[in-house]
Chains A and B, each alone.
Chain A
Amino acid sequence: MDRRDFFKKMFSLAALAGISSIAKPIPLLAEEDNSKIKKPPDLVAVRNGTPEGMFDEGIKALGGMKKFIRKGQTVVVKPNIAWTANPEGAANTNPALVKRIIEHCFDTGASRVYVFDHTCDDCFTTYRVSGIEKAAKEAKATVVQANKESYYQEVRVPGAHLLKNVKVHELILESDVFINVPILKDHGSTRMTCALKNLMGVVWDRSYYHRTDLDRCIAEFPLYRKPDLTIVDAYNILTNGPQSRSLEDVVKKGIQLLSKDMVALDVAASKILGEEPGNIKYISYAAELGLGIANLDELNVERIAL
């Protein structure tokens, strides 16, 4: 490179820099748009739609399923299928929502999608009665049983004090992407079951949780693995749960929440349920462990009304 060449290049670089510095103020006029592109919302709340429609909008606002799934990855979708109750009973996650999530997974290029829950009632009955087995199979997902110990493998939970080791369903260990799909419900002893508590359905020995310290164990589990995405089904919620004993306990809220942050989701969910987040001990425990942010004001929350 000779001197002339050098100057040529230098000048052109300087000119480029100059142009770009001139061009910069223009997007400042549309600052909101810019921040959206740069910083996607931490939590998306959608209301006034069908479970499927709200998911379509919600995931779009989060930047689409491609933010969470790459081509060829395996996905495990973990709804709440704990009880023998039909979809109207609102004890289990809405089957239509589960189906739509699976469809999005495959559209984004997921190689396989698994659905399971370690149920409270007999799993074949709850899978059938909840409508989730049928919905998941229609969307070509693999429905896996989780009611036998041989599906579980022991793992170490780093940083945990009470839940140091836990037997986790092998699909949680093997799958690339973990999607948590709880339904928001009242709960007799922990006051609420939603994002964090739904993860009790991927472990074998729930009795250990209850025996040791239910709230702390729930809070410590995500130290092992946090779901890559959590979708809270608050379309119909159960105000006297967790079992569905009467349709009069079902209240239609028509809301869906999406986020990676389970603590923030549980705080928002508790307000939908009409419960003080401070009364739900595992939320504050999880926040203390640094698993999420409990103060919604610190977060970029996008609210969508359809």
Chain B
Amino acid sequence: MKKGKLQFLRLSSEIFFFLFIVASFLHFFPQRFKAIPVRTQIIPLAISFLHEEFLPSLLLLVLFFVITIIFGRIYCSFFCPLGGFQDILIRIKKKPNFKYNKPLTTVRLTILLLSIVSAISGSLYLFSFLDPYSFFGKTTNYLLKPLIALINNGSELILRKANIYWLRIIDLPTINPLSIIPFILILGAIIYFSVKRGRLYCNSICPLGTFLGIFSVRSLYRIEIDKASCISCGICESVCKAECINSKDKIVDNSSCIRCFNCLEVCPKDSIKYKRSEKIKSIEPQKGKKISRREFIYSFFSVLTFSGINLTLRNKKPGDKTHFPPPTPPGSISLERYISKCTSCYLCINRCPTNVLQPSLFQYGLLGAFLPQMDFNSGYCAYECTECLEVCPTDAIMPHTKEEKKKIQVGRVKFIKDFCVVYKNNTSCGACAEICPTGAVSMIPYKGLLFIPSTETSICVGCGACQNVCPARPEKAIIVETNIVHKEARKAERSKTSKKEVKTEEFPF
């Protein structure tokens, strides 16, 4: 293959996945294929496979593994949306002047180990910030979406004034200052790294980059410098955003190389090539790659301490009898399973048409920090909707058919009469019964012409519609109590028609 074509292939693939992942977050992607772009991401695939033994995930994973063994870290430059995001930032720099830097082997291996330890101990909170896809999801939610929403809503307003109703208003995400502090810190690091040091994030922090790098070192196809023809001009080194080309010693660090192929374009002597390596056995150990004893001890103890903290936290489960955490989305089966599978990519939050899904803080405990929660103050779960179940890339929210989903009970309704408008003010209300999709809340005769809510918890699905619309303030008169482990709601029996039949042969007035 010609070198220009390789570069073209990489760029188009990167742009394609970047745009389509953003599009699927923002509802611009066709409904039928909306879950496809996010299903190309390695860490969600791995989580989905490890927990559910989902065969398509396994096949894709094997495919990615084979690709990595043959071609190296193709994922980082072809599929990774965060890579695409960094490449946009890197392009801000007019003339690239990168310099070779030794890989931060200890740092990146330690982070990889910590992530694996946290995953084993039943929480993915490290992945939620370090998995490039999940972090990109958050970036979309907190940064790209508000930007696009502002442009869209501004244009909508202008068009509307001209009586053109083509655009829909996009909701701005609710931003909790506490939950975005870690996000802003990492985003700041990524932006700083990209502008100053290219893909440093990928080669020092990203656990997936480190993992793929292990196989990339000895991949079948590698970037290599022909020592005979190379004149050490350093042009390739200056365009290498992974900072992995040492033009002086004519060595390429293939564990850090993200296969962006920028170097192939610029070499005046055609000495740097992406080709099948002939001397597989005679790889010389690269200088300075050995981990010193001190580094090893630091790394070892940080992993050990971290494991200890994780295990302690794990035994402190949230959800005691007095305080309920908010319900987890339907299809997540139980709180424990949800915490062990969700990487907080916030795709569900972005797709949720009623905005009931919102980022949490520590409602699910420290191990479940920042996971999406069902927040009935901002919305309620639409009975007929299965959006979050369809899109979840890690299967933290398991796919269910619409009929199955309608039977999932994420919580049960609880009516508190003392707060109810009907009881307090003696005026009619019935907002809760009106909106209840199952009939779990209904109105029964109270006094005079008034009717008051009555509940039937066994048929309740815990959608929170009643809690959301209840007008009582400051305390709501009807709430949902969470099922830590989801249950099955009984099918509602049809309530009897109470009205008198009126014959239609005549007008009744």
What residues make up the interface of A, taking CB atoms closer than 8 Å to B?
45, 47, 84, 112, 120-122, 124-125, 142-145, 148, 150, 186-191, 206-208, 210-216, 239-240, 242-243, 245-246, 248-249, 251-255, 267-268, 271-275, 279, 281, 296, 301, 303
| Cβ-defined contact, B499 with A121, below 8 A | no
Which chain A residues border B430 with CB–CB below 8 Å?
187-190, 210, 214
| Cβ-defined contact, B494 with A189, below 8 A | no
Known: A187-B434, A239-B499, A246-B494. A143 touches B165 (CB 8 A): yes
Q: Scan residues 461-500 of chain B and give those whose CB is less than 8 A from a CB of chain A.
A: 469, 471-473, 492, 494-495, 497-500
**B283: interface (CB < 8 Å):** no
* A247 smallest CB distance to B (angstroms): 10
**B429: interface (CB < 8 Å):** yes
Known: A214-B428, A274-B502, A275-B499. A125 touches B509 (CB 8 A): no
Indicate with 1 or 0, residue by residue over B433-451, a CB within 8 angstroms of chain A CB atoms.
1111101001100000101
**B354: interface (CB < 8 Å):** yes
Which chain B residues border A122 with CB–CB below 8 Å?
353-354, 382, 385
* A203 smallest CB distance to B (angstroms): 14
Which chain A residues border B509 with CB–CB below 8 Å?
45, 267-268, 271-272, 296, 301
Q: Taking each of B157, B163, B421, B509, which has the highest tally of chain A beta carbons within 10 Å of its own beta carbon?
A: B509
Which chain A residues border B153 with CB–CB below 8 Å?
150
Indicate with 1 or 0, residue by residue over B163-204, a CB within 8 angstroms of chain A CB atoms.
101001101000000000000000000000000000000000
Task: Compute how far the CA of A23 lies from the CA of B428 in the bound complex, rounded to whole angstroms.
Answer: 60
What residues make up the interface of B, taking CB atoms closer than 8 Å to A?
153, 157, 163, 165, 168-169, 171, 353-354, 382-385, 421-422, 425, 427-431, 433-437, 439, 442-443, 449, 451, 469, 471-473, 492, 494-495, 497-502, 504, 507-509
| Cβ-defined contact, B443 with A274, below 8 A | no
* B149 smallest CB distance to A (angstroms): 12
**Contact sample, A vs B, 14 pairs, CB 8 Å cutoff:** A122-B353, A122-B354, A142-B163, A142-B165, A145-B168, A150-B153, A211-B421, A211-B471, A239-B499, A240-B495, A240-B499, A243-B435, A301-B509, A303-B507
Which chain B residues border A210 with CB–CB below 8 Å?
421, 429-431, 469, 471
Task: Compute how far the CA of A276 lies from the CA of B422 in the bound complex, rounded to whole angstroms.
Answer: 21
| Cβ-defined contact, B434 with A242, below 8 A | yes
Which chain A residues border B428 with CB–CB below 8 Å?
189-190, 214-215, 281
| Cβ-defined contact, A281 with B449, below 8 A | yes
Which chain B residues border A243 with CB–CB below 8 Å?
434-437
Task: Compute how far the CA of A211 lies from the CA of B475 in the bound complex, rounded to whole angstroms.
Answer: 12
Query: Interface SS of chain A: helix, strand, loop or mixed?
Result: mixed
Which chain A residues border B449 with CB–CB below 8 Å?
191, 279, 281
Task: Compute how far the CA of A145 lies from the CA of B421 in the bound complex, rounded to whole angstroms.
Answer: 30
Which chain B residues border A187 with CB–CB below 8 Å?
430, 434
| Cβ-defined contact, A186 with B499, below 8 A | yes
Task: Compute how far the CA of A239 lies from the CA of B425 in the bound complex, rounded to whole angstroms.
Answer: 28
**Other-chain residue from A188, A211, A213, A271 in contact with B433 (beta carbon distance below 8 A):** A188
Which chain A residues border B165 with CB–CB below 8 Å?
142-145
**Other-chain residue from B171, B353, B425, B494 in contact with A245 (beta carbon distance below 8 A):** B494
Q: A245-B437, A254-B504, A274-B499 are in contact. List 5 more A-B contacts (CB 8 A).
A: A145-B165, A187-B430, A211-B421, A253-B504, A274-B501
Task: Compute how far the CA of A21 lies from the CA of B382 in the bound complex, rounded to whole angstroms.
Answer: 71
Which chain A residues border B492 with CB–CB below 8 Å?
245
The 3 A-B pairs of least Cβ separation, nearest first, read A189-B430, A211-B471, A274-B500
Which chain B residues border A186 with CB–CB below 8 Å?
499
Which chain A residues border B422 with CB–CB below 8 Å?
189
* A212 smallest CB distance to B (angstroms): 8
Which residue of chain A has the shortest Cβ distance to B469 in the bound complex?
Answer: A207
* A291 smallest CB distance to B (angstroms): 19
Which chain B residues border A214 with CB–CB below 8 Å?
427-430
Which chain A residues border B471 with CB–CB below 8 Å?
207-208, 210-211
Which residue of chain B has the shortest Cβ distance to A45 in the bound complex?
Answer: B507
| Cβ-defined contact, A189 with B499, below 8 A | no
Task: Compute how far the CA of A266 lies from the CA of B256 in the bound complex, rounded to whole angstroms.
Answer: 75
Which residue of chain B has the shortest Cβ distance to A252 in the bound complex?
Answer: B504
Which chain B residues border A47 with CB–CB below 8 Å?
504, 507
Which residue of chain A has the shortest Cβ distance to B441 in the bound complex?
Answer: A188
| Cβ-defined contact, B451 with A189, below 8 A | yes
| Cβ-defined contact, B354 with A255, below 8 A | no
* B49 smallest CB distance to A (angstroms): 33
* A272 smallest CB distance to B (angstroms): 6
Known: A148-B169, A188-B451, A268-B509. A207 touches B431 (CB 8 A): yes
| Cβ-defined contact, A145 with B437, below 8 A | no
* A74 smallest CB distance to B (angstroms): 9
| Cβ-defined contact, B504 with A255, below 8 A | yes
**Other-chain residue from A189, A208, A303 in contact with B434 (beta carbon distance below 8 A):** A189
Which residue of chain B has the shortest Cβ distance to A48 in the bound complex?
Answer: B504
| Cβ-defined contact, B499 with A273, below 8 A | yes
| Cβ-defined contact, A120 with B499, below 8 A | no
Which chain A residues border B171 with CB–CB below 8 Å?
148
Task: Compute how far the CA of A216 lies from the CA of B427 in the bound complex, rounded to whole angstroms.
Answer: 9
* B158 smallest CB distance to A (angstroms): 13
Task: Compute how far the CA of A230 lies from the CA of B35 in the bound complex, rounded to whole angstroms.
Answer: 45
| Cβ-defined contact, A213 with B168, below 8 A | no
Which chain A residues border B163 with CB–CB below 8 Å?
112, 142
Task: Compute how far the CA of A296 lies from the CA of B508 in the bound complex, rounded to whole angstroms.
Answer: 12
* A275 smallest CB distance to B (angstroms): 7
Which residue of chain A has the shortest Cβ distance to B451 in the bound complex?
Answer: A189
* B381 smallest CB distance to A (angstroms): 11
Which chain B residues border A267 with CB–CB below 8 Å?
509
| Cβ-defined contact, A271 with B508, below 8 A | yes
Which residue of chain B has the shortest Cβ distance to A174 in the bound complex?
Answer: B163
| Cβ-defined contact, A189 with B443, below 8 A | yes
Task: Compute how far the CA of A191 lies from the CA of B163 in the bound complex, rounded to whole angstroms.
Answer: 38
Which chain A residues border B451 with CB–CB below 8 Å?
188-189
| Cβ-defined contact, A240 with B504, below 8 A | no
| Cβ-defined contact, A188 with B443, below 8 A | yes
| Cβ-defined contact, B434 with A188, below 8 A | yes
Which chain B residues border A252 with CB–CB below 8 Å?
504
Known: A240-B498, A245-B494. A121 touches B504 (CB 8 A): no
* A194 smallest CB distance to B (angstroms): 13
Which residue of chain B has the shortest Cβ distance to A208 in the bound complex?
Answer: B471
Task: Compute how far the CA of A274 lies from the CA of B498 in the bound complex, rounded to whole angstroms.
Answer: 10
Task: Compute how far the CA of A254 lies from the CA of B506 in the bound complex, rounded to whole angstroms.
Answer: 11
Which chain B residues border A212 with CB–CB below 8 Å?
427
| Cβ-defined contact, A121 with B427, below 8 A | no
Which chain B residues border A213 with CB–CB below 8 Å?
425, 427
Which residue of chain B has the shortest Cβ distance to A122 in the bound complex?
Answer: B353
| Cβ-defined contact, A150 with B157, below 8 A | yes
Task: Compute how far the CA of A213 lies from the CA of B500 in the bound complex, rounded to whole angstroms.
Answer: 28
* B160 smallest CB distance to A (angstroms): 8
Task: Compute how far the CA of A211 lies from the CA of B497 in the bound complex, rounded to whole angstroms.
Answer: 28
Which residue of chain A has the shortest Cβ distance to B153 in the bound complex?
Answer: A150
